[in-house]
Amino acid sequence: MRRARPVAALAGVAFLIGAIVGANSGPSAAHTLAGHYVAAWARGDYRAMYLDIDVASRHGISADEFVAAYGQTTRTATATSLEVIGKPRDSTGGLVSVPVRVRTRLFGTLALDVQLRIVSGAEGGPAIAWSPSLAFPGMRPGETLSRQTTLPRRAPLLARDGSVLAEGSATEAGTRSSPLGASASAVIGEVGPIPTARRPALEAQGVPSDAVVGSTGLERALDARLRGTPGGELLAGRRVLATAESHAASAVRTTVSPALQRAAVTALGGQLGGIVAMAPSSGQILAVAGIGLDDLQPPGSTFKMVTLTGVLAAHVANPHTIFPYATHATLDGVKLSNANGEECGGSLELAFAVSCNSVFAPLGVKLGAPRLVATAERFGFNHDPGIEGAAESSLPAASAIQGELDVGSTAIGQGQVQASALEMAVVAASIADGGRRPQPTFTPGPPGTGTQATSPAVARTVRRLMIGVVRNGTGTSAAIPGVVVAGKTGTAELKTKSSCPASSETSSGESGSESCGPAQNEASNTDAWFAAFAPALQPRIVVGVLLVQDGAGGATAAPVARQVLEAGLAASH
C-alpha cells in the first residue's frame, strides 16, 4: 500500500499535466478567426467576413465594394457554392490555410486553399489583412481572377416536323439562315450582343461578354438550350486554375408548324400587327407573325370574354338576362356611347354577339373591380406569360380602378388594360379547353397542368356565346363553311381627349373609349382585334390577331384570323 501511493500520486500529476496541455492545445485565435471567416464565406455572409478584416483593409475598401468584389469573382468562376473541407492550418510565409471545395457551372469542382494573413487587430485581437487576391480561393498576392471562354457553334432550330427552322453560326447580329426565308423571321427572331440587363446572369453561366445571344423570338426564348456550354480557362493572373471544354448543344425541336407559320405571315402581310396561333389543349405555339409576342395594346372588346366570364361566374347575369336597348350608358355622369351611336340591348347573349358597350360597361360596374381584376388574372393578366422575351399583359390593381367610368372602361378592354396577341389567344384557348388556362410553350411534350381560369360550365356558356359572335354578330367575316367557329372581335380606340366634363358624351368604337365629343372611329385611331378557335366543339387551333391602327376588328382582323384558322385546320388533318 505504501508503494502504491507514490504511483497514484504520479498518476494524478500526469492527469493534471495532461489536462493543462489539453486545454492549451485547442485551436489558436488565428485559426479560429480563419475558420470563422471561411465559414461565413461558405454561407455567402460577406458582411460578417468584412467585420473580420483589419482596420487598414477597411480603409481601403468599403463594405459594398467588398461584397461586389466577391460577387464579381463568383460570376467569373461561374461558382455556385463553396464548402470548407478541412481545418485551418499554418502555412508557409506565416499564412493560415483553409482547404475548400468550390463547385462551378463551367469548370467543375475545384479543390483550393484560402490563404489568410493574420495580423493584430485594433483591440489587440487577431484580424485579417485583406487584399483583392483573397476574393477567390487559390490566388496568390497580386493576382486577379479572369476567364477566357468561347461559345460553340449555335444549335439548329427545328420545326415540329423535324425540318430546319434556323441554322448557322451566330457570330454576327441579325437573323440566322432559314429554309422558310422571311416568313420564319418573326417566330425565329434575331441574335445580337448581350443586353445590359442580361449580362450578370450570362456572365455567371460562363458566356463571354462579347458573345452573340438570342435577342427576340425563339432565339431568345430558347437561348439557353441553343447556346451550348462555353469552354475555356479560369486564370489567376497568368496561372491556369482550371479548364473546360466547350460542348455544342443538340438541335432543338420546337412546336412551330412551317405551313401555319407561312400562312400567318401571309395573312398579316405588310400590316403592323401580330398573330399567334396555338394548340388550345397543350398551349403549344404553332406560329407567330409580327409583334404577336412582344407588343401590348388595349384589347378592346376581346376583353369582354373576360368580363362575360366574371359576370357568369358571379351570377350577376345569365345569357337570357334582358337589358334595355340604348345608344349609350351613363357612368359617373358621362355618356359612354356604342359604336357609331348604334342602339343595342336585349339578351346578354345578343349583347355579346354585337359587342354592346351600353350593356357590358354597366355589367362591369355591377361585377366590381375586385372580381373583374381577379378574373383577368386567372386568365393570365399581370402574370409572366412564361415565354422568354414575351410581354406581360396587364391591368391595374382593383384599388387603382376608381369610379364607375374607370371600371366600365376596363370591362370593355379600354382604360389602362394592355394585352398582347398571345394573351388574347390564351384567353380564347382557356375557354376552348373547358376553362383551363394552358401554359404557352415552344417546346413539344405533354401539356402541363395549367391553371383553372373558370369552371367548365361557365367556359361552355362563353363558348356558346362566342359561336354566336361568328354566326350572327360582329365576327361573321371569320366564318368557315362547314366548320363551327367561336370568336370575339375587338376595336380599341387609341387617342382620347384628356378629360370629359360632367354630363358630357363619351364616344366609343365597338369596344369603347374615353374621348369626349363625336365618335372617332376612323381606322387610324383604332386597333383591330380578333380571338377565335375552331372547330368550336372540338378545338384544334386557337388564334389571336392584332392589327395596329387598322379599323374595326370584325372588318379587318376577323378575315385574317379566318385565313390562319383554315390553314391550321388543313395542317392538322
Cα separation, 170 vs 193, in Å, equals 10
Is 360 part of a structural domain of the chain?
A: yes
Is 145 part of a structural domain of the chain?
A: no
Residue 153, pLDDT score: 92
CATH code of the domain containing 161? 3.90.1310.10
Decide: 495 and 525 in contact? Cβ < 8 Å: yes
Q: What is the pLDDT of residues 226-271, one digit of tens each?
A: 999 999 999 999 999 999 999 999 999 999 999 999 999 999 999 9
Residue 25, pLDDT score: 54
Q: What is the pLDDT of residues 74-120, one digit of tens each?
A: 999 999 999 999 999 999 888 999 999 999 999 999 999 999 999 98
Q: Are residues 214 and 157 in the same domain?
A: yes
Instruction: For 236-265, give one letter per residue: b (16+ CB within 10 A) or e.
Output: beeeebbebebeebeebbbbbbbbbbbbbb
Mean predicted lDDT score pLDDT of the chain: 89
Residue 171, pLDDT score: 58
Q: Are residues 220 and 279 in the same domain?
A: no
- The single residue listed with the C-alpha cell 406581360 is 392
- Helix H, strand E, coil C: the string for 265-281 is HHHHCCCCEEEEEECCC
- The single residue listed with the C-alpha cell 402574370 is 383
- For range 363-383, the mean pLDDT: 98
Q: Which of 208, 229, 252 is the last residue of a domain?
A: 252
Q: What is the pLDDT of residues 265-278, one digit of tens each?
A: 999 999 999 999 99
| Amino acid symbol at 266 | T
% of the chain beyond a pLDDT of 70: 90
Q: Are residues 301 and 363 in the same domain?
A: yes
Q: What is the pLDDT of residues 322-344, one digit of tens each?
A: 999 999 999 999 998 898 889 99
| Amino acid symbol at 90 | D
Domain of 50 in residue numbering reads as 27-140
Q: Are residues 377 and 478 in the same domain?
A: yes
Q: Are residues 355 and 320 in the same domain?
A: yes
Q: Pick the closest to residue 488 from 497, 501, 477 (CA basis).
A: 477
Q: What is the pLDDT of residues 281-302, one digit of tens each?
A: 999 999 999 999 999 999 999 9
Decide: 222 and 442 in contact? Cβ < 8 Å: yes
CATH code of the domain containing 74? 3.10.450.100
Task: Give the global pTM.
Answer: 0.81
pLDDT at 507 over 50: no
Q: Are residues 233 and 270 in the same domain?
A: no
The number of beta carbons lying within 10 Å of the beta carbon of residue 181 is 10
Between 426 and 525, where is the model more confident?
Answer: 426
3-state secondary structure of 79: strand
- For range 399-407, the mean pLDDT: 96
**What confidence tier does 133 reach under pLDDT thresholds 50, 70, 90?**
very high
Q: Are residues 323 and 285 in the same domain?
A: yes
**What confidence tier does 494 reach under pLDDT thresholds 50, 70, 90?**
confident
Is 458 part of a structural domain of the chain?
A: yes
Q: Are residues 156 and 90 in the same domain?
A: no
